[in-house]
Amino acid sequence: MELSYILNELGEERENYFNAIAPPIIQTSNFAFKTVADLRVALSNEFEATLYSRGHNPTLNILRKKLAALDNAEDALVFSSGVAAISIPILALLKQGDHIVSVENPYSWTIKLFKDFLPKFGITTTFMDGSELENFEKAIRPETKLIYLESPNTFSYELQDLKAVSGLARSKGIITMIDNSYCSPFFQKPIELGIDLAAQTATKYIGGHSDVVAGVVTGSRELISRIFNHEFMNIGATLSPHSAWLLIRGLRTMPLRIQHSFKGAEKITSWLLQHPAINKVIWPFNADFKQSELAHQQMQGCGGLFSFTLKDSSLEKIETFCNRLQHILMAVSWGGHESLVIPTIATISKDDYDRNNGRHQLIRMYVGLEEADYLIKDLDQALNH
Ligand X SMILES: *Cc1c(COP(=O)(O)O)cnc(C)c1O
Q: Which residue lies nearer to ligand X by CB, 181 or 218?
A: 181
CB 199 within 8 A of CB 217: yes
The distance of closest approach from Cβ of residue 179 to ligand X in the complex, given in angstroms and rounded to an integer, is 5
Applying CB under 6 A, does 181 fall inside the site for ligand X?
A: yes
Among 154, 160, 238, 269, binds ligand X (CB under 6 A): 154
User: Using CB atoms, what's the residue nearest to ligand X?
Assistant: 82
Determine contact, residues 313/361, Cβ cutoff 8 Å. yes
Beta strands across the sheet bearing 215-219 = 75-79, 215-219, 197-201, 175-179, 144-150, 99-103, 124-128
Q: How far is the CB of 329 from ligand X (least distance, A)?
A: 16
Nearer to ligand X, 225 or 307 (CB): 307
Our finding on whether 82 is near ligand X (CB under 6 A) is yes
Which whole-number Å values give the CA distances from 114 to 101, 106, 367, in the listed order? Answer: 10, 10, 30
d(CA 376, CA 370): 10
Q: How many residues in the shown chain lie near ligand X by CB under 6 A? A: 12
- Rounded CA-CA distance 313/333 in Å is 24
DSSP conformational letter for 234? H
Q: DSSP letters along 270-291, please? A: HHHHT-TTEEEEE-TTSTT-TT
> Are 328 and 381 within 8 A, CB to CB?
no
The verdict on 243 binding ligand X (CB under 6 A) reads no
Q: Return the residues of window 186-205 that contact ligand X according to CB under 6 A.
A: 201, 203-204
Q: Which residues pair with residue 128 across a beta bridge? A: 103
By CB under 6 A, name the one of 23, 76, 102, 107 that touches ligand X. Answer: 107
83 interacts with ligand X by CB under 6 A: yes
In angstroms, give the least distance from the CB of 118 to ligand X: 16
In this structure, how many other beta carbons lie within 10 angstroms of the beta carbon of residue 101? 26
Binding region for ligand X (CB under 6 A) out of 41-49, 76-84, 246-254, 284-292? 76-84
Task: List the one residue from 215, 241, 303, 336 that touches ligand X (CB under 6 A).
Answer: 215
Nearer to ligand X, 215 or 264 (CB): 215
Give yes or no for residue 81 binding ligand X (CB under 6 A): yes
By the rule CB under 6 A, 179 interacts with ligand X = yes
Give the Å distances, CA to CA, from 124 to 34, 92, 110, 193, 341: 48, 15, 13, 26, 34
- 213 makes contact with ligand X (CB under 6 A): yes
User: Of the ranges 43-51, 77-85, 184-192, 273-281, which one interacts with ligand X (CB under 6 A)?
Assistant: 77-85
**DSSP per-residue letters across 152-172:** S-SSS-----HHHHHHHHHHT
| Binding of residue 67 to ligand X (CB under 6 A) | no
**Binding region for ligand X (CB under 6 A):** 81-83, 107, 154, 179, 181, 201, 203-204, 213, 215
